[in-house]
């Protein structure tokens, strides 16, 4: 029973463990989905969800995904060095054969370095991301790589190359019907002076898409770029309106990079309309925020920290391997000791079991012999009891026969007395010599049968002697019985009938029945109890 209880408990434990694991897995997936959905609408919230997912999961792929989303959110908020640090941590986790994540992480690192002004590093990382995306045939990430490469070329004023990469990305995204990235490509095609009317149509299309997607960050960038296009067209009032919209949206999501761009474009517009005070204020705000964002020292510190971490990791890995070797050696030694101890324990257990089995066999033999002896004793006792019972039965039969014989004798005596009475009646009519002769005949007849009374008394005495043990038991159980009741019980014990007892005692059957009734009362028997059966049971 205990074994089945243990199995049942184990099964329940496993089921609850699996259920708990599944619940945790679903929660992590939900956090990652929320982080992706709120990335362009609320980057702060997206970073929060990504951090929670990173802390709760132990799966490497999910950790990398969490860090990737967190880095994107930090970049959108203008925290480029924090985003790069997260991306370096993610890169350290990527397995050697996972080319897909390498392409995604290197692509994000390239645009972050571009935002910090390190264009050489940005192009180098973008080339690696492009190569890994092509190896994996990952068209979605390849389109993002092309898009980021176009942005890098914008920063270094290579507009023709930028447009080429943006069109490549747009072609892939339109084929994949990826609205979010289509809007990003359309927006980026408007980052440099070109065909203004066409660019305004593109940016308007991007605004519609991002408004439907509730992508606040992207929408603020779209309005920024639209304001710049209006500036190129010298539509300054319209430019100020859309730039104000862009500033409000960027402030709402905390997008420092877009706010910097907004300060720059606003300063250009206000300077064009002659409001130099306002333009100066925007330039001061731009300088202050740019100093806060642009931090090459912090970036170098991030890279140095990552290098130190890698060195520390290598040292820890070397120490870990040494420890593993020592632990493995210790485990081998422990395993050897355990095997030897286990073998000795098994041998000891087998010897102990053998000794116990031997003792058990000896005990079984002894018990068997004892049972045989007890069986023989019981058999002898049964034989002895049977012999005693047969002897008792024989005695009872002998007594019964003797009593019956004497009862017959008494009947014969009564017949003799009846005969004598008849002879005496006959003598009433006789006289003289005939009477004397008749009397002599009666006398001879009486002499012939005069020993009957002695025989009768001897019979009764013989019955009493044979039943002395019974009489003792009877008087011990019923001490108030009279001598006559004891005598009657003795005669009933030898199974004499009422008529036979009457003949033996010289009384009538009616008297015997009355005496039987009195004996039942003295023995305190109920009407259902059999008198003879009770007497024989004593």
Tell me what pLDDT residue 308 has: 56
Residue 70, pLDDT score: 92
Residue 228 pLDDT greater than 80, yes or no = yes
pLDDT of residue 401: 67
SS3 72: helix
**Tell me, what's the pLDDT at 21?**
47
Q: Rounded to whole angstroms, how far apart are CA atoms 82 and 85?
A: 5
Closest CA to 142 of 116, 178, 112: 178
Q: What is the 3-state secondary structure (H, E, C) of 147-180?
A: HHHHHHHHHCCCHHHHHHHHHHHHHHHHHHCCHH
Average pLDDT of the chain to the nearest whole number: 83
Report whether pLDDT(214) > 50: yes
Q: Give 175: exposed, middle or buried? Use CB within 10 Å, 0-12, 13-18, 19+.
A: exposed
Using the predicted structure, report yes or no on whether residue 142 has a pLDDT greater than 80: yes
Indicate if the pLDDT at residue 208 is higher than 90: yes
> Which tokens belong to 194?
């070109």
**pLDDT band per the 50, 70, 90 thresholds, residue 204:** very high
* Residue 244 binned pLDDT confidence (cut-offs 50, 70, 90): very high
Calculate ∠ Cα 414-420-423, nearest 5°. 145
347 confidence band (pLDDT: 50, 70, 90):
very high
What average pLDDT does range 23-51 have in this prediction?
87
Q: Per-residue pLDDT averaged across 148-172, rounded? A: 92
The more confident residue out of 458 and 290 is: 290
Residue 220 has pLDDT above 50, yes or no: yes
* CB-based contact 423:442 (threshold 8 Å): yes
> Where are the extended beta strands (E) located within 135-218?
none
Model pLDDT, residue 466: 67
DSSP for 426-470?
Answer: HHTT--THHHHHHHHHHHHHHHHTTTHHHHHHHHHHHHHHHTHHH
**pLDDT score, position 19:** 42
Distance of alpha carbon 180 from alpha carbon 40, whole angstroms: 10
pLDDT at residue 211 tops 50? yes
Q: Which residue has the higher pLDDT, 231 or 115?
A: 231
Q: What's the mean pLDDT in 463-486?
A: 84
- Across the range 451-465, mean pLDDT stands at 57
Q: What is the pLDDT of residue 123?
A: 93
Distance of CA 447 to the CA centre of its chain: 110
State the pLDDT at residue 235: 93
Q: How far apart are CA 94 and CA 316, in angstroms?
A: 19
Please give the Cα distance from 329 to 341 (Å, whole number).
18
pLDDT at site 238: 95
**Exposed, middle or buried: residue 349 (CB in 10 Å: 0-12, 13-18, 19+)?**
exposed
Q: Which whole number is the average pLDDT over 106-119?
A: 88
Render pLDDT for 297-323 as a digit per residue (tens, 0 to 9). 444 455 555 555 555 666 677 778 888
Q: What gap in Å lies between CA 145 and CA 133, rounded to an integer?
A: 8
pLDDT at 247 over 80: yes
Tens of pLDDT, residues 388-420: 888 777 766 766 666 666 666 666 766 777 777
What pLDDT score was predicted for residue 11? 44
Residue 237 has pLDDT above 90, yes or no: yes
Tokens of 73: 């959110």
Q: Check residue 459 and give its pLDDT.
A: 57
Q: Report the pLDDT value the prediction gives residue 301, as an integer from 0 to 100.
A: 52
Residue 243 C-alpha from the chain's centroid: 63
């Amino acid at each position: 029973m205990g074994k089945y209880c243990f199995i049942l408990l184990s099964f329940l434990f496993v089921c609850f463990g699996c259920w708990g694991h599944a619940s945790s897995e679903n929660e992590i997936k939900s956090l990652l989905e929320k982080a992706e959905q709120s990335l362009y609408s609320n980057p702060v919230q997206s970073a929060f969800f990504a951090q929670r997912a990173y802390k709760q999961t132990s799966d490497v792929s999910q950790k990398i995904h969490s860090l990737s989303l967190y880095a994107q959110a930090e970049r959108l908020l203008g925290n480029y060095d924090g985003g790069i640090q997260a991306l370096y941590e993610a890169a350290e986790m990527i397995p050697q054969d996972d080319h897909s994540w390498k392409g995604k992480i290197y692509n994000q690192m390239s645009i972050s370095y571009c935002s910090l002004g390190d264009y050489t590093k940005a192009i180098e990382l973008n080339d690696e991301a492009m190569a890994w995306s092509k190896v994996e045939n990952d068209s979605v990430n390849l389109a993002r790589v092309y898009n980021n490469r176009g942005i890098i070329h914008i920063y270094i004023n290579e507009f023709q190359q930028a447009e080429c990469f943006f069109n490549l990305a747009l072609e892939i995204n339109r084929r994949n019907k990826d609205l979010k990235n289509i809007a990003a490509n359309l927006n980026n095609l408007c980052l440099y002076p070109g065909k203004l009317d066409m660019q305004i149509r593109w940016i308007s299309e991007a605004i519609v898409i991002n408004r439907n997607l509730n992508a606040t960050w992207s929408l603020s960038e779209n309005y920024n770029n639209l304001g710049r296009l209006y500036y190129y067209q010298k539509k300054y009032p319209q430019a100020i309106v859309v730039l104000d919209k862009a500033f409000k949206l960027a402030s709402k999501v905390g997008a420092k990079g877009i706010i910097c761009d907004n300060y720059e474009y606003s300063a250009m517009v206000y300077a064009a309309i002659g409001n130099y005070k306002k333009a100066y204020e925007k330039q001061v705000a731009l300088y202050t925020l740019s100093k806060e964002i642009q931090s090459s020292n912090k970036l170098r510190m991030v890279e140095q920290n990552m290098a130190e971490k890698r060195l520390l990791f290598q040292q820890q890995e070397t120490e870990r391997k040494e420890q593993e070797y020592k632990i493995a050696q210790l485990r081998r030694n422990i395993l050897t000791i355990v095997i030897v101890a286990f073998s000795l324990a098994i041998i000891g257990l087998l010897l102990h079991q053998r000794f116990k089995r031997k003792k058990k066999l000896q005990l079984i033999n002894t018990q068997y012999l004892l049972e045989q002896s007890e069986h023989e004793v019981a058999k002898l006792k049964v034989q002895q009891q049977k012999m005693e019972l047969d002897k008792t039965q024989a005695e009872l039969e002998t007594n019964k026969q003797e009593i019956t014989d004497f009862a017959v004798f008494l009947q014969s005596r009564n017949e003799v007395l009846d005969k004598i009475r008849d002879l005496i009646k006959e003598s009433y009519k006789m006289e003289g010599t005939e009477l004397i002769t008749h009397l002599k005949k009666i006398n001879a007849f009486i002499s012939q049968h005069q020993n009957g009374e002695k025989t009768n008394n001897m019979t009764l005495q013989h019955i009493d002697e044979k039943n002395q043990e019974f009489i003792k038991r009877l008087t011990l159980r019923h001490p108030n019985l009279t001598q006559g009741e004891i005598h009657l019980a003795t005669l009933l014990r030898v199974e004499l009938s009422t008529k036979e007892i009457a003949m033996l005692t010289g009384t009538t059957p009616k008297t015997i029945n009355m005496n039987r009734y009195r004996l039942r009362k003295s023995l305190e028997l109920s009407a259902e109890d059999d008198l003879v059966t009770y007497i024989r049971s004593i």
